[in-house]
Amino acid sequence: MSIDPDVSTSSRQRQESGAGVQPLRVPKRSSLVLEAPDAAQIARNLTEKYGPAAIAFAGARAARAVEVGDDLAADAWQAVIEATRTLLRQVAGV
């Protein structure tokens, strides 16, 4: 869970003294939250435990991260979902 306030939405605005409403500047985040080997290892662990349902498990975790405003965790779970899909395609021979 992130301790930073959520300033990631472009709809957030602030009042400048007498200047009207202006959009907040949103700091850029690194798009690479988990290193690929980390996401791949988590994908392997989830797939061993849950099989194809691992994608739903990771998706639920990603959704929860979004609900609580934890963008870093949501990004990390998205990387795990992508790695899980890749792994399941390889196993299926697709």
What is the domain range of residue 43? 29-92
pLDDT tens, per residue, the chain with 94 residues: 445 544 444 333 444 444 555 454 434 444 555 677 899 999 999 999 999 999 999 999 999 999 999 999 999 999 999 999 999 999 888 7
The predicted pLDDT at position 26 comes to 38
The predicted pLDDT at position 10 comes to 39
Structural domain contains residue 57: yes
The predicted pLDDT at position 33 comes to 59
Structural domain contains residue 81: yes
Rg over alpha carbons for the chain, rounded to the nearest Å, is: 18
Structural domain contains residue 85: yes
The predicted pLDDT at position 50 comes to 96
CA distance linking residue 18 with residue 35, whole number of Å: 46
Instruction: Tally the domains of the chain.
Output: 1
The predicted pLDDT at position 9 comes to 44
Count of CA atoms in the C-beta half-sphere (13 A) of 39: 22
